[in-house]
Amino acid sequence: MMIAWLKQKWVWILAAVILVSLDIWHKELFFSILFAYGLIIKFFLSDYLSPKLRKFFATTIWTSLIVLVGLTVYVNYYMPHGPSYPTGEVVCQNDDRGPCGEEYKEDLRNVDIPNWAKFLRRSEGQLLLFGLLFAGIVISGAKNKNQEE
């Protein structure tokens, strides 16, 4: 029985081993979080969820997305900003044809704002927003096989 299960799930097991190895190699959790996100999306698309529970999850995800967008706007426009420093990279607009200029990043180390606001101001917050958007689209469009028949 265990061997049959391993033969059936070998791709998922191999993906988990590779992603956890990448996390250990890079000393971060990005790949494990990405794998867990993929498993959650796969669970949302499975037939284990009843339509009522799927609708509840979809409503929760869309509500979380709207709240996070509102918090991101609040953090970016109404909370104090830190000093900007040049990164040394030159960034050009319009496919490298348009105006070019040095890239600046915001230094958030000495800014007196909560850690959740710093998280939303950096790119991790944007990644969370896009992840919630994708999950909301996927779970809202998912239907049970018996619903389609």
- Whether residue 143 is predicted with pLDDT greater than 70 in this model: the reply is no
* pLDDT tens, position by position, 71-80: 988 988 898 9
pLDDT at 125: 72
Which tokens in the block code for residue 127?
């990644």
Distance, CA of 136 to CA of 64 (rounded, Å): 10
3-state secondary structure (DSSP) of residue 136 = helix
Q: What is the mean pLDDT of the chain?
A: 80
Going from N- to C-terminal start, the domains of the chain cover 1-44, 46-85+112-149
Angle at 57 between CA 15 and CA 119, to 5 degrees: 70
- pLDDT at 104 exceeding the cut of 80: yes
